[in-house]
Homo-oligomer: A and B are copies of this chain.
Amino acid sequence: MVAALAGVSRSTVSRVVNASPRVTPGAISAVTAAIETLGYVPNQAARSLASRKTYTIAVIIPENTAKFFSDPYFASVIHGVATHLGNTEYTLTLLIASEAHPEKTRRYLQGGSVDGALILSHHADDSSYLQLSSTLPVVFGGRPMSNTRPADAGPVPRNHIVDVDNVAASTTATRYLLEHGRRRIATIAGPQNMAAGFDRLVGWRAAIAETAQNPDLVAFGDFTPPGGESAMRELLARGESFDGIFIASSQMAFGALRVLREHGISVPGDVAITTVDNDYFAQNSTPPLTCIEQPVAELGVEIAQTLVRLINGESVAELSVMPTRLIERESV
Contacts and interface: CB of A to CB of B under 8 A. Distances in A.
Contacts of A44: 45, 107-108, 111-113
Given A56-B108, A86-B101, A95-B93, A45 B75 contact: no
B41 A45 contact: no
B75 A91 contact: no
Contacts of A54: 45
Interface in A243-302: 258, 280, 284, 286
Nearest to A75: B69
A82 B106 CA distance: 16
B41 A110 contact: yes
A96 B93 contact: yes
Interface in A3-55: 41-49, 54
Contact of A41 (B63, B106, B226, B286): B106
B105 A79 contact: no
A312 interface: no
A76 interface: yes
Looking at chain A's contact residues, the main secondary structure is helix
A309 interface: no
A65 interface: yes
Nearest to A69: B75
Interface string A191-211: 000000000000000000000
Contacts of A91: 95, 98, 104-105, 107-108
A72 interface: yes
A189 interface: no
A148 interface: no
Given A63-B82, A280-B226, A284-B225, A45 B113 contact: yes
B72 A69 contact: yes
Interface residues of A, number: 52
A317 interface: no
A139 interface: no
Given A82-B98, A226-B280, A49 B45 contact: yes
Nearest to A81: B96
Given A45-B113, A49-B49, A79 B98 contact: no
A227 to B, nearest CB: 11
A225 B72 CA distance: 13
A49 B43 contact: yes
Nearest to A280: B225
Nearest to A255: B284
Contact of A79 (B66, B86, B101): B66
Contacts of A68: 75
A66 B74 CA distance: 9
B112 A45 contact: yes
Interface of A: 41-49, 54, 56, 58, 63, 65-66, 68-70, 72, 74-76, 78-79, 82, 85-86, 89, 91-96, 98, 100-101, 104-108, 110-113, 225-226, 258, 280, 284, 286
